[in-house]
Amino acid sequence: MNFELSEEQLLIQGMVKEFVAAEVAPIAAEIDRNHRFPAELIPKLAELNLLGVPFPEELGGAGADNVSYIIVLEELARACASTSVIVSAHSSLCTWPIFAFGSDLQKKKYVTDLASGASLGAFALTEPGAGTDAAAGTTTAVLDGDSYVLNGTKTFITNGGFADVYIVTAMTDQAAGTKGISAFIIDKDLPGFTVGEREHKMGIRASSTTPLYFSNCRVPKDALLGQEGKGFKIAMMTLDGGRIGIAAQALGIAQGAIDASVAYAKERVQFGKPIARLQAIQWMIADMVTEVEAARLLVYQAAWRKDAGLSYTREAAIAKLFASEVATRVAGKAIQIHGGVGYTESYPVERAYRDAKICEIYEGTSEVQRMVIAGGALR
């Protein structure tokens, strides 16, 4: 059992740290304040192959492992959770299912561009009436000759409006429940496919979150991902991996909050000495560090199991549940350490607090993670 990062993983971590310091951190507050999607970062991320970290080089990726991938997401989130989730949704939720379930032709057509960063991806499962209960979706796909005709609405779609490729689930057999759901690869310019107005969110404001509308949208028959009726299984397996990504995002948010708190505690003077010398502050930081280190072990273990070809559904749920709730607690303590200024936009911890909460909600709420964990324990 080895808890040390490999030489390659350390090199990737160092590269991302430098990139974040030079390109991400300087704009993080501005893009959050203005709800601005950081389009200028996409080609820069692509240049460093950070949009295809865990995919093979022959398909445009970096050829690295999943532990390296979550290291990238963690380091991005330490400065900007929005940038981290842009990469996570692109890689975990769009590129991976095509890589895992797509035909050779689909992989060549889509994965190469997605992994290299020539295209940006998104994933569309949630609907206005089907969030946690994904099987309640009403978007339909009816086979008509050589095409499927899609009708319906998706909501809360990360990268919506900026993505070139969307993985979309729809009912091909409404009487079959979850076994009637299929998945499709949708190009952004198809007639009948439109993107709605961006949501104005509490956190991850620089991430574009939109509804998608399908009105008699004709999709080529060969856009079907995997087999008809297997869309729910594809979506659930995709979310297993995506949850490791969100756990890494939460981990990065929490670590960033610790970094800011330690720096502030050393420079803030009260009662004639830095507050870092006060036991109340020391104990808060000790608790924060302990929880984040525990979360890191869970997140890295889940990624390691995926690399090892072992089952990781349970471990991904545990990692996401714990890391996301830790992020909220740690960000809250960070504001407490900063006092009044922590409640202002002058310091990054208020943004960390707002960003952390969504990690307990998207890609499966904390309640869903507890259902998954309990289901495995009580089997």
Q: Give, as one character, the DSSP assignment of residue 127.
A: B
Q: Where are the alpha helices (DSSP H) in 107-156?
A: 112-116
Rounded distance, CA 351 to CA 253, Å?
A: 9
Q: How many other C-beta atoms lie within 10 A of the C-beta of residue 325?
A: 18
269, containing H or E segment: strand 269-270
Q: Provide CB contacts within 8 A for 248, sequence distance 6+.
A: 70, 71, 73, 74, 77, 84, 88, 299, 303, 323
The residue annotated as part of the active site, out of 74, 350, 360, 363, is 363
Q: Where are the alpha helices (DSSP H) in the chain?
A: 7-19, 25-33, 41-47, 66-79, 81-88, 96-101, 104-106, 112-116, 231-267, 279-307, 313-338, 349-357, 366-377
Q: Are 166 and 150 in contact (CB under 8 A)?
A: no
Cα–Cα distance list, 5 to 85, 247, 304, 305 (Å): 23, 18, 11, 15
Bridge-based pairing of strands 269-270 and 273-274 is antiparallel
Q: Nearest 5°: phi and psi at 269?
A: -105, 130
Identify whether 23 is a catalytic site residue: no
Catalytic annotation, residues: 363
